Structure 1
Amino acid sequence: MHEAHATEAAALTARPDLPQGTGRQRAATQGTDLQRERILQAATQLFAAQGYANTTMAQIVRALGVTKPFVYYYFRDKQEIFETISWRPAVDCFTALDFAADDPRRASEKVLEGIERLIRATVAHHPAAFFPYREPQVYRPEYLAAQKKLAHHFYDLLCPLLEQARRDGDLDFDETKITALAACSLPGFLYSWYRPGGRLAPDEVVAELTKLASRVIGLRTGH
């Protein structure tokens, strides 16, 4: 079962449902990867500051100090840049429970670490992790379908672990799916209030939200 999930995750994270052979680039090298990252970083800041609709390819080009053909060599259009930026956080968040098949820990330990990983990935990928919450209308149906597969992969792992932890006497809850969704919705609300450089450091935000999530899943005292 775990091997099947691992295979599925590997297939999903390869971005099979996203455009292949993006732009005019045909082969990735260390140099081209660095240039792609430059473009993605500049675009991320613009999308975060002014939104998708108000950001143009011309603005991305100006921010980089390059010409349009340079950007179009790597990416087909603005939407592809936006989806590429959004995909990495989605993968990191929804593979948070991809533990080794022979991991001997109790189910409750895996649940807590997985939720903490999810929260930490959301915070670490600010602001890109929040784009789907802010502008869900931007994404193509194909992208949304790929993202949904990743989410299903995550919850297909989480729900059995929750139920096992309940049988072990470590957790106390009633409805499995509602509990899973409620606990994992906590980082989803970060987009409305989280600001780097705020009163709490990123690690403190992660710790606070993980503690709240542990209450949602009914972690028993002493665990």
Structure 2
Amino acid sequence: MGITSETQQKPSRTGRQRAATGRTDLQRERVLQVAAQLFADQGYANTTMAQIVRALGVTKPFVYYYFRDKQEIFETLSWRPAVECLTVMDFAPDDDRRAVDKVRDGIERLIRATIAHHPCAFFPYREPQVYRPEYQAASLKLAHHFYDRLCPLLEEARRDGDLDFDDTMITALAACSLPGFLYTWYQPGGRLSSDQMVAALAKLAWRVLGLREAPARSPTA
């Protein structure tokens, strides 16, 4: 079963905007893009609404039309990658692939989404103290949603003989922490491309999960 809209919904806290249009969506995205770069470069505490306004070349009412304050901007930037990353195990009910194939698919998509949402995916790791209790509660609910789907798949794959590990939750947390800790060192445009980074981290995750590769077939005569 897929994630419900209730689970996916960020606690509402918005500026004066009442109805979205194509133009207002574009302007809202413009605010988010500029703010994301400032937060990434300077941190939350050192970034002010005045700096965001100045970088955009607009007036303060323009920004406050879309967002109540800089905390709402920061939470909006953080929520998008959270939803994308933590719904990667939401497979369709008629998906009849083996559990191990779903695990591999989901973990790879988790890593890819984390990298794709740089730098915003790393804001919760860098500055967890910024978020409101309501936001933290919603994030925790989303994380539970993710692990409630991943852990049964891990256990099924272990029963199938495809994975070899001991404690399910510890293994799940260890494997999924790999993309999370990218925030301490990852920068786009580095030595490895995003595809190479996904492949490298996925390989490490398979080791944590105790993936048992199928034996190679003997060549036919």
Task: Report the TM-score when normalising by structure 2.
Answer: 0.95
Query: For residues 114-172 of structure 1, what are the alpha-carbon distances to aligned partners after superposition, in whole Å with 9 as ceiling and x for unaligned?
Result: 11111111000000000000000000000000000000000000000000000111101
Q: Which residue of 2 aligns with 1:196?
A: 188
Q: Which residue of 2 aligns with 1:107?
A: 99
The separation in 2 between residues aligned to 1:141 and 1:148, in whole angstroms, is 10
SS in structure 1 at match of 2:34:
helix
| Residue of 119, 123, 136 corresponding to 2:128 | 136
Query: For residues 61-114 of structure 1, what are the alpha-carbon distances to aligned partners after superposition, in whole Å with 9 as ceiling and x for unaligned?
Result: 111110000000000001000000000000001001111111010000000111
- Note if contact 1:119-1:210 (Cα within 8 Å) is conserved in structure 2: yes
Q: Which residue of 1 aligns with 2:110?
A: 118
- Note if contact 1:9-1:95 (Cα within 8 Å) is conserved in structure 2: no
Structure 1 segments, 4+ long, off by >6 Å, are none
Q: Does 1:11 align with 2:6?
A: yes
Q: Trace 1:49-198 onto structure 2 (pairs within 5 A).
A: 49-198=41-190
- Note if contact 1:9-1:150 (Cα within 8 Å) is conserved in structure 2: no
Larger radius of gyration: 2
* Aligned partner letter, 2:48: T
Displacement of 1:14 = 2.8
Q: Which runs of 5+ in 1 are unaligned?
A: none
Q: Does 1:48 align with 2:40?
A: yes
The separation in 1 between residues aligned to 2:122 and 2:137, in whole angstroms, is 18
The separation in 1 between residues aligned to 2:214 and 2:87, in whole angstroms, is 28
Q: Which residue of 1 aligns with 2:218?
A: none
SS in structure 1 at match of 2:64:
helix
Q: Which residue of 1 aligns with 2:27?
A: 35
Question: Identity, % of aligned pairs?
Answer: 76
Q: Number of paired residues?
A: 215
Task: Report the TM-score when normalising by structure 1.
Answer: 0.94
